[in-house]
Homo-oligomer: A and B are copies of this chain.
């Protein structure tokens, strides 16, 4: 049961909040391609990047994905993106996890090719968003030269959004980025013995 006084207090609070929010929105005038970083040990880094990509596709814009380290996003993600193949360009290093290949020289070469592809996609006319999935891992293992990668990211055309994912983002990348979100694991079902399941982990 809502008392009249409570309802009025609630209304006054919400009017004030809306005014603050409207003023904040009006202040922001800059449009630019963002350098976005999803890092931290929690889940959702690549999944949120995938969500941004799909949303951009929904707006009918061109998108690209380069996968560093991991061989592929899951069959679930691929099945959806195949329905929008005119709006997605996909490149995978195709070497599986690094701890499966056990050959550093091959990983370094593959990372270099993936970075070349990333540069090409960022400079492709009409490109709106490029996801560089697990690039942080390639940087962490020194598979790619950090300074060159950051310079390349900063030199992209003005309107292009880039999302970089992976744990342990380098401090210099965080410094260069516009938007950095850290995903923290508060609680994880693997600790309870639950296995990887379709649609959740793959």
Residues of A bordering B, CB below 8 Å: 2, 6-7, 10-11, 14-15, 17-18, 21, 24-25, 27-32, 34, 36-40, 42-44, 46-52, 54-61, 74-80, 83-84, 97-105, 108, 128-129, 161, 174, 177-190, 192-200
Contact = CB atoms under 8 A, between A and B. Distances in A.
A3 to B, nearest CB: 10
Contacts of A177: 187
Contact of A58 (B80, B108, B178): B80
Could you say how many copies of this chain the assembly holds? 2
Contact of A80 (B7, B54, B189): B54
A40 to B, nearest CB: 7
Contact of A76 (B56, B100, B187): B56
Contact of A61 (B183, B186, B199): B199
A200 to B, nearest CB: 6
A178 B199 contact: no
Contacts of A187: 174, 177-180
A102 to B, nearest CB: 4
Nearest to A79: B58
